[in-house]
Copies of this chain bind each other. A is one copy, B any other.
């Protein structure tokens, strides 16, 4: 089974989920637009954090597919589940945009964190299914690279789980952590990219 259509489908989901995020950036009609554009700053930050996070996950999905030589139906289904969570991200992003500065901040930060934690878990599951016994890995893939990917994806679920739990104490610190995680991955990737 060729992997090209899976890549096309995944690229589509990533691109649409990322572009739909802009629907969460809105001003309230009837208020002066200038002050509204300042008041809604959390929706810009939430947009940027989710867009960059989706971009980083997309780049990593790209790296995974580059190591994979073929796909089977179980891998396709794991991808469908993974993409289901990817396409879900605009919803908790909306909650963060609207409520992080209100009394509902905790519910919003928890919803965001749970979604990202599940995303990280499914991404690990996806990769580990492909990599286990080199089930779907290209014959010419280097063991060093495959093992490096396995190691580099392990911390994701733990980091997002911790940031989610922090929301129980302080939703705003939790939201700050989501931003820091995105920035960390951007910097780490850039450094890695120059290696």
Contacts and interface: CB of A to CB of B under 8 A. Distances in A.
B190 A74 contact: yes
For the complex formed by this chain, how many copies does it contain in all?
Answer: 4
Contact of A55 (B16, B33, B59, B83): B83
A59 B76 contact: yes
Interface in A13-27: 13-23, 25-27
B18 A20 contact: no
- Which of A5, A47, A88 has the most chain B CB atoms closer than 10 A to its own CB? A5
Size class of the contact patch on chain A:
35 or more
Contact of A22 (B20, B72, B73): B20
Contacts of A104: 32-34
Given A7-B5, A59-B80, A80-B51, A18 B25 contact: no
A12 interface: yes
A98 B15 CA distance: 27
A75 to B, nearest CB: 8
Contacts of A26: 91
A124 B74 CA distance: 23
Given A34-B107, A55-B84, A74 B15 contact: no
A90 B12 CA distance: 17
A95 B80 CA distance: 23
A189 to B, nearest CB: 5
Nearest to A48: B84
A5 B77 CA distance: 21
Nearest to A18: B87
A62 interface: yes
Nearest to A87: B19
A84 to B, nearest CB: 4
Contact of A16 (B5, B15, B52): B15
A80 B65 CA distance: 19
B20 A19 contact: yes
A95 B77 CA distance: 26
